[in-house]
Structure 1
Amino acid sequence: MNRNNSAITLMPLLLVSGLVISGCSSTTKVQRIDADQEIALSDKWNAKDSQLVAEAMVNDMLTFPWVRDHMSREANRPAIIIQSVRNKSHQHIAVDTFLNDLKRAILRSGQADFVANSLVRQEIREERKDQELNSSLETRNEMGQEQGADYALSGAINSFVDEQGDKRATFYQVDLHLIDMTTNREVWNGQKKIQKLQEHGSYSL
């Protein structure tokens, strides 16, 4: 058999071998799961951390005397505005998600109201101006009827990492404080800590 015939004979075998190898290759599997179920693939801050920390801190905040003191002198529930929560940790954290979790926890409690931030307020004011020109008297909303915030909430997210060998401990600390906007008095100071341990041959920040 000459060299050309040998090449022709081997070609079907190579094609079959390639198909077998392709059939044995790994495939990607996607599974739909409950959004409330935590999936901890690493020691990084995740959506469940954000939700649990927000709920715990708001629950603690609403047990302090400032709520009772406010209701004893005012007819309306206290109105809170979130000024800023800074991410000072070693990794990227979706702070907007954490802020939204704080808002939901505050509103769900029924003990306090939430006031929109300056950017959202400006958009709503533009809508009111448009209503003055284009909406009927019965449906338009008047200017100058906004509810001012009684308290300002702000804080920061910090993290610390300790590692040795194939073990790494990541420590998260969230500090928030609530300020009376009339007196600048700090009426609540809250702190929540999370610690995670990851054991792996190799990991990345």
Structure 2
Amino acid sequence: MTFIRFILTTVIAAFLFWGCGPSQSVQRVDPASQSDLSGNWNDTDARMVAEDMTSDILSAAWLQNEESPVLIVGDIRNNTTEHIRTDIFIKEIERAIVNSQKVEIVADPDQRAQIRAERDDQQQHASYESAASLAQELGADYMLIGGIEANVDKNLDGTRAAKFYTVNLELINVESNRKAWIGNKKIKKMIERNKVKW
């Protein structure tokens, strides 16, 4: 009898525990809306960087004397302590540049590996007429490289902090190593919390 009472008590307690758990609600919002939950890098920061960098790179002097230059995206390094997906804003930059039709962009190294594997496979398995030709890749004239840096300055009790990000992108001539364009975007956030760990 005691054992059965113990089992019943345990089951009832488990149901009460699960029933009193945290509730959750989900709401769809406009992807362009600003949301700063932690003060860390987020989608709004990525969008701001993409918009400013794209506008700058397409209106800068380097492009005035070029006719359909070919660009490849190299390493964009995250030099912060945060987990930042640089590919999110880089893909936005690529999209805007390709759609401008002022600059051509070729596949990055990871994409090229997949495409080359497909091209090699076609040499063996596709008809002669439909197989993609070898050694016909478009060479890049410029490579886009850069990085993200961050700095946090906080007060002594840890309740206020200023977080500063700077994103630097550089366009380098592949043949001459000449830097044709340098873009910079700065973002600064003020964060206030009751108790905080940085």
TM range (shorter): 0.7 to 0.9
1:113 deviates by 1.3
Aligned length: 186
Q: Which moved more, 1:48-57 or 1:152-161?
A: 48-57
User: Which whole-Å CA distance do the structure 2 matches of 1:61 and 1:129 have between them?
Assistant: 35
Instruction: For structure 1, list consecutive stretches of 5 or more residues without a partner in the other structure.
Output: 1-14, 72-76
1:105 deviates by 2.6
Structure 1 residue corresponding to 2:175, chosen from 172, 179, 182: 182
2:103 aligned partner: 112
Q: Does 1:202 align with 2:185?
A: no
Mapping of residues 148-167 of structure 1, within 5 Å: 148-164=139-155, 165=157, 166-167=159-160
Q: Percent identity?
A: 38
Structure 1 residue corresponding to 2:164, chosen from 171, 174, 183: 171
Structure 2 residue corresponding to 1:47, chosen from 25, 39, 43: 43
TM-score by length of 1: 0.81
3-state SS of paired residue (1:70):
coil
Structure 2 residue corresponding to 1:29, chosen from 25, 31, 40: 25
Aligned partner letter, 1:187: A
Aligned partner letter, 1:31: Q
Aligned partner letter, 1:39: S
Q: Which moved more, 1:26-35 or 1:172-181?
A: 26-35
3-state SS of paired residue (1:159):
strand
1:35 deviates by 2.4
1:132 aligned partner: 123
1:12 aligned partner: none
Mapping of residues 7-86 of structure 1, within 5 Å: 26-71=22-67, 77-86=68-77
User: Which whole-Å CA distance do the structure 2 matches of 1:28 and 1:53 have between them?
Assistant: 32
TM-score by length of 2: 0.83
Aligned partner letter, 2:26: V
User: Which whole-Å CA distance do the structure 2 matches of 1:26 and 1:128 have between them?
Assistant: 53
Root mean square deviation of aligned Cα: 2.5
Q: Decide which structure has the larger Cα Rg and report it.
A: 1
1:25 deviates by 6.6
User: Which whole-Å CA distance do the structure 2 matches of 1:57 and 1:145 have between them?
Assistant: 31
1:34 deviates by 2.5
Q: What do residues 165-186 of structure 1 show as CA deviations (whole Å, max 9, x unaligned)?
A: 4211100000111111122111
Q: What do residues 98-135 of structure 1 show as CA deviations (whole Å, max 9, x unaligned)?
A: 32222223223221111112222122111111112222
1:91 deviates by 1.5
